[in-house]
Structure 1
């Protein structure tokens, strides 16, 4: 089953209020409203895209070690996924799909990392629960997602809903700003130029990991 098919199946059960979710319809409607407004804002069109030079970064992994984009790009292309947090089931399913595709990325010499505003303990939880062999880097205060044009502020009514659901982002992220990155997937070439980009303000829609394989193949052919 494709990643998107799994996401769609989860979404259908969640929005239908099937156990264990039992989500009231007004909650679903608030989430739909927030997504529609983010789409209408045009924020995704202002994010970094293929052909742009990718912002550089140096972020800590869950063990506190710095990971530098420049060092990763010396080894080969970089596959980058911006991740909302361990509390987001759609994001966790995407991480699992990326893990399953990692052997194909390895074949073309690509490094794979995820970037999240969440704290290191939450990243360690994500790695453990999703059985990941790649790191989730801590984007403190969302500075890297801001540089990629992905960071946005949650509207007040969505903040109120998250608080009602005990989805306490300021604690999860150690940041009072109530901001998140739009889910974004990138392939960055060794020259620092973005070769592939997929940004979607609808967090329930994600590209297939396999979509990046032709780009990695092309990057490998250029290096050969």
Structure 2
């Protein structure tokens, strides 16, 4: 079974240990699992669909271009507002030299607007590529997006979190955080997608896959 980097493994400031929120998230994740959210996401051995998205500086980048020089680690995340995503991206930033030595590069995708995507470079380092998935179009296309229910919407708004402002739309869509290793031929060599945003791929396992590609 694939290993996972759990929220409990992250630095203390990256954890949300409030019992009230834990119960809210547990209930919502159970709904996502019942609905088989992310079940149709690209799998190991499949070809990842080509795409073309703007990077944090407005330049459009295609998947074919991104993998031309070697394998990439493609990471879907919810954005800098999410403590689990910040923790994961910080972990990648701390390991960026290890990833480079293995022959890979990090490409992370977020639906955030208003310049927020560029701020993620502070976490992952300037070598990484940040792509902007406007309206979560790519996440929806590959089966990695879902709509927040009314209860979660109300809870987020009550604590001052307005996803409409963060993502620039009123759809209340969130992506499932996911990690893929994609080879030069756009084949998926590693795939990890869990409806529970508190569980992430283990970087060490990813490094091993990237190194094996060579």
Scaled by the length of structure 1, what TM-score is found?
A: 0.85
* 1:162 corresponds to which of 156, 167, 192: 156
Displacement of 1:13: 5.9
Task: Identify the structure with the greater strand proportion.
Answer: 2
Displacement, 1:3?
Answer: 4.9
* C-alpha distance in 2 between matches for 1:73 and 1:122: 25
User: Bigger shift: 194-203 or 157-166?
Assistant: 157-166
Per-residue deviation, residues 116-169 of structure 1 (Å, max 9, x unmatched): 1111511122323x2622132110111111122101111111111111111111
Structure 2 residue corresponding to 1:149, chosen from 100, 118, 143? 143
Q: Aligned residues, how many?
A: 209
Q: Give the alignment's Cα RMSD to 1 decimal.
A: 2.0
How many angstroms apart in 2 are the aligned matches of 1:152 and 1:28? 19
Q: Which residue of 2 aligns with 1:15?
A: 18
Conserved? CA contact 2:72–2:182, under 8 Å: yes
Contact 1:73 1:190 in 2 (8 A): yes
Distance 1:170 1:13 in 2: 22
- Please state how far the C-alpha of 1:7 moved relative to its aligned partner: 3.4
Aligned CA distance change for structure 1 residues 12 and 141 (closer, same or farther; 3 Å): closer
The equivalent residue for 2:125 is: 132
Q: In the alignment, is residue 198 of structure 1 matched against residue 192 of structure 2?
A: yes
My pick for the range that moved more, 162-171 or 106-115, is 106-115
Could you tell me the TM-score, scaled by structure 2's length?
0.89
1:112 matches 2:106: yes
Q: Counterparts in 2 of 1:58-73, with a 5 A limit?
A: 58-73=52-67
Q: Within 5 A, what are the aligned runs for 1:80-119?
A: 80-119=74-113
Q: Is it true that 1:49 corresponds to 2:15 in the alignment?
A: no
Contact 2:15–2:83 (CA<8 Å) still a contact in 1?
no
Relative to structure 1, the CA distance from residue 193 to residue 88 in structure 2 (aligned partners, 3 Å threshold; closer, same or farther) is same
How far did residue 31 of structure 1 move?
2.2
Distance in 2, matches of 1:88 and 1:46, equals 24
Matches within 5 A, 1:173-188: 173-188=167-182
User: In the alignment, is the contact (CA less than 8 A) between 2:11 and 2:87 conserved in 1?
Assistant: no
Greater per-residue helix proportion: 1
CA deviation vs aligned residue, 1:157-202 (integer Å, no higher than 9, x gap) = 1111111111111110112111011010000111111000000111
